[in-house]
Chains A and B, each alone.
Chain A
Amino acid sequence: MNARRYMLEVRGLGKTFGETEVLKAIDLNVSEGELVFIIGPSGSGKSTMLRCCNRLEEPTSGAILIDNARITDIPRRDLDRMRLNVGMVFQGFHLYPHMSVIKNVILAQIKALKRPADEARQRGMELLDQVGLGHKADAMPSELSGGQQQRVAIARALALDPKVMLFDEPTSALDPELVGSVLKVMKDLRDKGMTMLVVSHEMAFAREAADRVVFMDGGYVVEAGTPDEIFGNPKSDRLKSFLSRVSGGAH
C-alpha cells in the first residue's frame, strides 16, 4: 500500500474556535484509491477535520495537501478552483430545492468547471444512471426520498471528476431502510478506485469496505489501523469504551 502515492495528506492540523481547541495536531494520509473511515464520539472533531480538507473550515495551523498541492497555502480568492478537486457529501444532502435533479448535477459543471452544456448534461446523466436514479433526472428534490436525495448529492459531487471524495456522516439523516442504497453507491465508488475519506457511524460498513479506520477523540487521532485491528483488537481504553458503547447499534 505504501507503494501508492498519497492523494490526501494532513500534517499537524490544528483548529481552534475562539478558546476551544477542536483539533490538536492531526496527522493523516490517504493513498490513491484508498477508503479511510473516521470514527469517534460526537464532538471529537471528525467533521471539523473533514471540512478543513476543502477549507469550508479554515485550519488554524498545519498543512493539507491534495495530490501533492498544498491547499492550505491557496489564497482565499482561488479556493473555488481547488474545490473542484475535492468532492463533498453532506449529512443534510443540501440539494438545491428550486432545481430539478439533473440541473443540480449540471450547475457547477457549467459555472465552475466551464464545461459545455451538452457535455455537462451527458456526464450528469451518466452519473445519475450510476447511482441508479437516471429515471429521476427531471424530478424535483422534494419528490425524492432521503436516500435518493443523498445519491443525487453524490452524483453532483462526482460530476466534477474530483480526486478525493469527502463524506460527512452521509447516512445519519436517513431512515434505516434507506441507508443501504447509499452505502451501495459508496461501495461501487470504492471499487472503481475513488479515493475516499468518510466520517460515519456505520461500523458494519467500515468493517466491510474500509481499507483503514481512524479513531478520533478529543481532537486527537487516538488509534489507526485496518478494520480488523481496530474492531478486533482495540488497544487504547478510549477506543474500547467507544466500541462497547456503539456496538449495541452496530450489527
Chain B
Amino acid sequence: MRFLETFFNGTVIAKYTPDIIVAMGITLALSVAIIISGIVFGAVLAGLRSFQVRPLTLLIVLFADLMRALPPLVVILILFFGLPSVGLLMPDWLVLYLVLSLVLAAFAEEIFWAGLTAVTRGQWEAGRATGLSFTQVLTNIAFPQAWRMGIPPLVNRALAITKMTALGSVIGVKEILSVASSAQSFSGSATPLTMAAVAYMLIFIPAVIASRWIERRFHYKT
C-alpha cells in the first residue's frame, strides 16, 4: 500500500488540514468577489453598448476581445511584474482579483449583449409604444430577458474563471494550490496535493452539479 502512504498519509493530512481550510476560505472569498464584480461590470458594459455611441462601443468591444483572447496568466504576470516599475504597488491577491474580474466581465458583456440582441424588435416596439423610454425598456424588458437567456453560459463561464484562482499560486496568493504546493515541498509527500484536489472538489463539484441543474431549469420557454 505504498500508494495510499504516498497520496493519503494520515500524519501529513492531520498536520496541514488547518492550513488548507484557511486557504479554502481565501479561494472562496476571491471567487465570490470575482463573480459579483465580473458580472456587474459586464452587465454595465453591455448596457452602455446598447446606446450605440460609436467610440464607446468600439472601446467596449476592444476590451471584451482583448480579455477573451489573452491567456489570464499572461495578463497576471504583466501586471504583477510591470506595475511596480511604473510606481503602482498592488498586493498579489488584488492583481489576481482584478484580472479575473475583468476576464469574467469581458465574457459576461458578450453573453449579455448576445441576449440583448436576441430580444426581438417587437418587444422593444411594444415597450416604446406604451410610452416607456429607451432606458426603461432596456432595464425593465430587454435586460431581464437577456439575463435569463444568459444564465446557463454565465454560470459555466463563472465556474471556469473562479477555478483560475489557482493561478494565484504563481504570484504567491495564499490560496489552496499555493498552500498545498509549499506543504508538499516541506513534507516531502504528495499528500498535500491530494488534499488540494479534495478541497477543490468540495467547492466545485456542488457548483458543477448546480450548473447542470440551472442549465435545465432556465431553458427558455416562449
Q: Is A144 an interface residue when CB atoms closer than 8 A count as contact?
A: no
Categorize the interface residue count of chain A.
20 to 34
Contacts known (A56-B128, A98-B144, A142-B221); A80 close to B122, Cβ less than 8 A: no
- Which of A7-15, A81-89, A219-227 binds B? A81-89
Asked if A96 is at the interface (CB within 8 A of a chain B CB), the reply is yes
Contacts of A83 in B (CB 8 A): 128-131
Counting CB contacts under 8 A, is B132 at the interface?
yes
Q: Which of A26-34, A66-74, A104-112, A186-194 contacts B (4 or more CB under 8 A)?
A: A104-112
Contact with A along B74-107 (1 / 0, CB 8 A): 0000000000000000000000000000000000
Given contacts A56-B125, A107-B140, A111-B140, are A94 and B120 in contact (CB under 8 A)? yes
Report the minimum CB–CB distance from B128 to chain A (whole Å): 7
In the bound assembly, the distance between CA atoms of A92 and B144 in angstroms comes to 20
Minimum CB distance partner of A157 in chain B: B130
CB-based contact B130/A94 at 8 Å: no
Residues from chain A with Cβ under 8 Å of B120 in the complex: 94
Task: Classify the secondary structure of B's interface with A.
Answer: helix
Give the CA-CA distance A56 to B221 in the complex, in Å.
Answer: 28
Asked whether B129 lies within 8 Å of A97 as measured between CB atoms, the reply is no
Is B222's CB under 8 angstroms from A97's CB?
Answer: yes
Q: How many residues of B contact A (CB 8 A)?
A: 20
Q: Which of A84, A90, A96 has the largest number of chain B CB atoms within 10 A?
A: A96
When each residue 5-32 of chain B gets 1 if its CB lies under 8 Å from chain A and 0 otherwise, what string results? Answer: 0000000000000000000000000000
Residue of A87, A112, A157 most packed against chain B (CB within 10 A): A112
Docked complex Cα distance between A111 and B125 (Å): 16
Who on chain B is nearest to A56 by CB? B125
Q: Mark out the residues of chain B between 136 and 161 whose CB falls within 8 Å of any chain A CB in the assembled complex.
A: 136, 140-141, 144-145, 148
Give the residues in chain B near A112, CB-CB below 8 Å.
130-133, 136
Q: What's the nearest-Cβ distance from chain A to residue B183, in Å?
A: 49
User: In the complex the two chains form, what is the Cα distance from A108 to B33 in whole Å?
Assistant: 35
Contact check, A113 vs B131: say whether CB atoms are below 8 A apart. yes
> How far does the alpha carbon of A216 sit from the alpha carbon of B126 in the complex, in Å?
25
Question: Does the CB pair B221–A96 fall under 8 Å?
Answer: no
Contact between A96 and B126 (Cβ–Cβ < 8 Å)? yes
User: Which single residue of chain B is at the shortest CB-CB distance from A104?
Assistant: B126
B122, B131, B140, B222 pick with most chain A CB within 10 angstroms:
B131
In chain B, what residue has the closest Cβ to A92? B122
The CA-CA distance from A96 to B127 in the complex, in Å, is 9
Q: Are A108 and B144 interface neighbours, CB within 8 A?
A: no
* Docked CA distance A95–B144 (Å): 14
User: Is B123 on the interface with A (CB-CB < 8 A)?
Assistant: yes
B122 touches A84 (CB 8 A): no
Task: Give the residues in chain A near B131, CB-CB below 8 Å.
Answer: 80-84, 108, 112-113, 160
Query: Is the Cβ of A94 less than 8 Å from the Cβ of B122?
Result: yes
Closest to A105 in B: B130
Docked pose: A107 CA to B136 CA in angstroms: 10
- Nearest chain B CB to A70's CB is how many angstroms away? 18
Give every chain A residue within 8 A of B133 (Cβ-Cβ).
80, 112
B129 touches A111 (CB 8 A): no
Q: What are some 6 contacts across the A-B interface (CB < 8 A)?
A: A83-B131, A84-B131, A88-B126, A108-B131, A112-B133, A113-B131
